[in-house]
Structure 1
Amino acid sequence: MTEHAPALEAKPESPAPAAALTLPLPAVPADSVRPEHAADDAGAEGSSHSARSRRHTSARRRKREDAVRQATREKPTATDSDAEASPDPELREPAQADDADGAPEISGRAPRSSPPATPPLAARASIRATIDVFGHPAPFPPDAPFDLILAEPAGGGTSPAYETGEWLPASLEALEGRLQAVGEGRVAIVVDGNPLEVGPGCALLSALGPAQVRLHATAGGLQRALGRIGFSPEDVTPLRIARLGQDGVLARLRRGRLYAIDPAPLSPQDMGRLLEEAGLHQARVWIASPSMDVPVTAMLAFELSDSALPFAADAFVVAYTVGADGRCREWPGIPATELPGALPEAARLLALAWLQPGSEECGWCIEGSRPALALDWARERPDAEVHCIGCDDDALSEAAARHQAGDGLRAVPGGSFHSLEGLPDPNVAFVRAGEEFTQQIRTAWSRLRPGGRMVAVAEDEGARLELMQFAHRTRPALWQDLSVANGDPEARSFCLAPASAVRLMGWTKPPRG
């Protein structure tokens, strides 16, 4: 999504070590770089005195910095070929190589890598610095009292306006080591873009908390692109192909919504075809780039699919999903004719109405090899984690792709109640009677979290007997018999097949306390 500028090399007359680089930019008053300040507003005076002593001990500081530089030299760096092989330009790590003089070569804008959600516990406990994360081109306080400034190369390979600093480490592990060496000082991290969207800011905030990490949000590329067509981030639902994949985006598309889709590493034309696949061929589409020099293009989704126009690499696809043809289903209830042997739609809809599963909840779905209710569940809650017990992984993946289900489905082959031991405790559980029904329903109920819901279904006399035995020991809150008789659309008369009875029972675990 980003054009790369020519490589910038450190000048021979001012060599710099691999981990630290002096940036020849406008000067900052010397007294603003390393002031005598408290480590934290809430810290004790002893901690402040300790931090001041460490800063005045130059020998210790040089020893720590030498150790960090040595570790950085020994760590292998990503090559240009590795960066090219990455499918997502925003997730590639910066390409670095040491020249003959040992100075780093910084090639254009360093692609950003997505750090893990939280650093390891040991590293988290040893990071005591106060961290401010800024985004370029937001104004950087020139007189801010920082002990260390870590900068990501901005768009053309230059850095924001301050005199001295170091390049931001490419990986979270290297960043942790550098932050540990600072002790209780104050650190500024500057990333190229909105720190809420790029860089390590969110990961550090999640691991260290707001007392240590402050994010200074700026207008990111999405916000600038939306501003060009009169929308704000609050008006849209953002979707990223690089994070969700095509199937994940397809599962989240609904009618009458406004989406902002980041198509990288695909093209806007691919997004037009994806909208058509969802039955949204009449969706209104804008292709907008954050750059004011690139014109905004408006068309319909089916026109975008066949468009030969060249679009900017950083363009976003903003789509208002109207004109659906019914393939983008808004309600649960996959026809039973599409899933032979599946539970009837009426029973599945009633079970989902009793379960009321949420996107943030973990679920067990024990249906055997035909997980029809799990597919309905994942279509309505694409982010939900649903474990399909007794289902083959390949069959589940094929069914999820065919019915545009979410990416939270997890296959658990086998189906034995012993296979439940390694699963996380569920908030929601659905059990369709089969082999080992009694053990499965007992295990599901015992593992169900406080406030969780469970629904069990029995379709034959033996299963109903087992269900009633469990119900006598643990009284259900809801129970109902359904009689389902299907018609034959190819028959000349309106005849119904013999009715089949389905018994459903529902339980709610008492909340803790």
Structure 2
Amino acid sequence: MITVVGIGADGWDGLVPASRRAVEAAGVVVGSARQLALVPETGAERVPLPSPLLPNLPGLLDSLLGSLPDRAVCVLASGDPMFHGIGSTLVRLVGAERVRVLPHVSSVSLACARLGWPVESVEVVSLVGRPPAALRAALQPGRRVLVLGGTAGAVGDTLDEAGYGPSRVVVLSDLGAPTEAVGVESGLQVIAIDCVAAPGSRPFARVPGLPDDAFEHDGQLTKREVRAVSLSRLAPFPGELLWDVGAGAGSIAIEWMRAHPSCRAVAVESRPERAARVRRNADALGVPALRVVEGGAPAALDGLPRPDAVFVGGGVTVPGLVEACWAALPPGGRLVANAVTLESEAVVAGWYGRLGGDLVRLAVQRASPVGGFTGWRAAMPVTVWSVRKDTP
């Protein structure tokens, strides 16, 4: 059994009796150098957390739990260990039945208390180990955001680049400690953002169907109306993984990930210049965690984690591609394929005949100048085949 004790910047004085007893009873106390300095000497062995943490933590746990089975292990964590903390990692590694968590007040709760913000109305973005671009997806007019990790300078630059320069930004440092301060940066800080869009800027909603010019592209782009329909059929749920095969500009994968912060995606693109463009679009639209795989499908799909949904935006005529995507899906998985040419339409029509699903042809016309008047110009129609895998 591992006991995880949340501790705040107020240190030992801020711990409730149960948390103090857990530390005092431990034979081994594990934590960062800062955390270990917050608790008194109890005679326990003190073990610093390794750096980098995630690659080395499993080995440390094997050592502690294997060689010291009879000694209680206490791991110190900042604030609430289950909120962007080590508690969640430990549960994933050893199982919930072997982890006892004694939480402290989180920095988010303390920040909201100082600002007078209802906790349930705030979005939290962690920049610990993540680039500042991860903040972009959370920025919307009137939204309140708390940033964990990162610096005020990096956050400010991101706000300016995203068109939210006028936002009110407050740095809250050492929350709960005697050294607590506003506007002073420290190693323990939360950055609060009251989002205000700059005049003339164009905020982006999370509803599928961003404007086409939100993406850098070379023409290989699933257009706005078709993209919205395709994503509605892919139906992203929190935590799910998408394969975007023949990604082009990456618009489907990017909007999938914008649907919820826990949504994940792999964009598979055979052309290096397009793969680089997908990465730039992902950064610009706030989903830098998008994984980009360079290579031709179906070979490039080997070894990828199993998807919950697959979008085939290009290459549907490649032999074996649809078969590989369909085989990879679990029961309940969704496959959506778009076709523009007669040859690709013939392929999806054949699969529709075999597997069923839904077959829709979309024809979009846009108003544009015709001399001194306005007329309709038709885009190429797109056939969208979508199907759900109800059996293994």
- What SS does structure 2 have at the residue aligned with 1:375? helix
Q: CA deviation at 1:490?
A: 9.5
- Percent identical pairs in the alignment equals 23
Q: CA deviation at 1:255?
A: 3.3
- What SS does structure 2 have at the residue aligned with 1:464? helix
Q: CA deviation at 1:263?
A: 4.3
Larger radius of gyration: 1
Q: CA deviation at 1:352?
A: 0.9
Choose from 335, 343, 354 the match for 1:473.
354
Which letter does structure 1 place at the counterpart of 2:359? W
C-alpha distance 491-281 of structure 1, shift in aligned 2 (>3 A): farther
**Does 1:505 pair with 2:379?**
no
Choose from 277, 283, 295 the match for 1:395.
277
**Does 1:240 pair with 2:120?**
no
Which letter does structure 1 place at the counterpart of 2:258? R
Pairs within 5 Å for 1:113-128: none
- What SS does structure 1 have at the residue aligned with 2:131? helix
Give the paired residue count.
Answer: 367
C-alpha distance 225-346 of structure 1, shift in aligned 2 (>3 A): closer
Q: CA deviation at 1:197?
A: 5.7
More moved, 170-179 vs 411-420? 170-179
Choose from 328, 336, 341 the match for 2:203.
328
- Across the aligned residues of Structure 1 and Structure 2, the Cα RMSD in angstroms comes to 3.2
C-alpha distance 314-415 of structure 1, shift in aligned 2 (>3 A): same
Q: CA deviation at 1:375?
A: 3.0
Conserved in 2, the CA contact under 8 Å of 1:384 and 1:408?
no
Question: Which residue of 1 is the match for residue 135 of structure 2?
Answer: 249
**Does 1:384 pair with 2:263?**
yes
Question: Structure 1, residues 117-152: CA drift from partner, whole Å, max 9, x if none?
Answer: xxxxxxxxxxxxx33232342145576683614254
Conserved in 1, the CA contact under 8 Å of 2:246 and 2:268?
yes
Q: Determine the C-alpha separation between the residues in 1 that align with 2:300 and 2:32.
A: 49
Q: TM-score normalised to the size of structure 1?
A: 0.63
Q: TM-score normalised to the size of structure 2?
A: 0.80
Choose from 28, 31, 43 the match for 1:164.
43
- What SS does structure 2 have at the residue aligned with 1:472? helix
Question: Which residue of 1 is the match for residue 54 of structure 2?
Answer: none
Choose from 396, 407, 413 the match for 2:294.
413
Q: Determine the C-alpha separation between the residues in 2 that align with 1:455 and 1:349.
A: 12
Q: Determine the C-alpha separation between the residues in 2 that align with 1:198 and 1:455.
A: 34
Q: CA deviation at 1:246?
A: 0.9
Q: Determine the C-alpha separation between the residues in 1 that align with 2:257 and 2:325.
A: 20
- What SS does structure 1 have at the residue aligned with 2:128? helix
Q: CA deviation at 1:480?
A: 1.5
- What SS does structure 2 have at the residue aligned with 1:244? coil
C-alpha distance 484-183 of structure 1, shift in aligned 2 (>3 A): same
Q: Determine the C-alpha separation between the residues in 1 that align with 2:327 and 2:85.
A: 43
- What SS does structure 2 have at the residue aligned with 1:496? strand
**Does 1:485 pair with 2:361?**
no
Conserved in 1, the CA contact under 8 Å of 2:141 and 2:196?
yes
Conserved in 1, the CA contact under 8 Å of 2:170 and 2:193?
yes
Question: Which residue of 1 is the match for residue 3 of structure 2?
Answer: 132
Conserved in 2, the CA contact under 8 Å of 1:429 and 1:454?
yes
Q: CA deviation at 1:216?
A: 0.9
Conserved in 2, the CA contact under 8 Å of 1:132 and 1:213?
yes
**Does 1:228 pair with 2:104?**
no
Conserved in 2, the CA contact under 8 Å of 1:154 and 1:192?
no
C-alpha distance 185-262 of structure 1, shift in aligned 2 (>3 A): closer
Question: Structure 1, residues 322-381: CA drift from partner, whole Å, max 9, x if none?
Answer: 446553300333434553232322111111111111231111212353433233323334
Q: CA deviation at 1:190?
A: 4.2
**Does 1:346 pair with 2:225?**
yes
Q: Determine the C-alpha separation between the residues in 1 that align with 2:305 and 2:208.
A: 25
Question: Which residue of 1 is the match for residue 304 of structure 2?
Answer: 423
Question: Structure 1, residues 205-234: CA drift from partner, whole Å, max 9, x if none?
Answer: 333334332111112444333322234654
Question: Which residue of 1 is the match for residue 250 of structure 2?
Answer: 371
Q: Determine the C-alpha separation between the residues in 2 that align with 1:336 and 1:232.
A: 36
Q: Determine the C-alpha separation between the residues in 2 that align with 1:157 and 1:508.
A: 52
Q: Structure 1 regions of 5+ residues with no counterpart?
A: 1-129, 298-309
Which letter does structure 2 place at the counterpart of 1:398? R
Conserved in 2, the CA contact under 8 Å of 1:131 and 1:214?
yes
Q: Determine the C-alpha separation between the residues in 1 that align with 2:295 and 2:370.
A: 37
Conserved in 1, the CA contact under 8 Å of 2:134 and 2:287?
yes
Q: CA deviation at 1:191?
A: 4.9
Choose from 185, 189, 194 the match for 1:315.
189
Which letter does structure 1 place at the counterpart of 2:332? G
Q: CA deviation at 1:505?
A: 1.6
Q: Structure 2 regions of 5+ residues with no counterpart?
A: 51-56
Pairs within 5 Å for 1:7-22: none
Choose from 237, 244, 251 the match for 1:358.
237
Q: Determine the C-alpha separation between the residues in 2 that align with 1:198 and 1:472.
A: 47
Conserved in 2, the CA contact under 8 Å of 1:437 and 1:466?
no
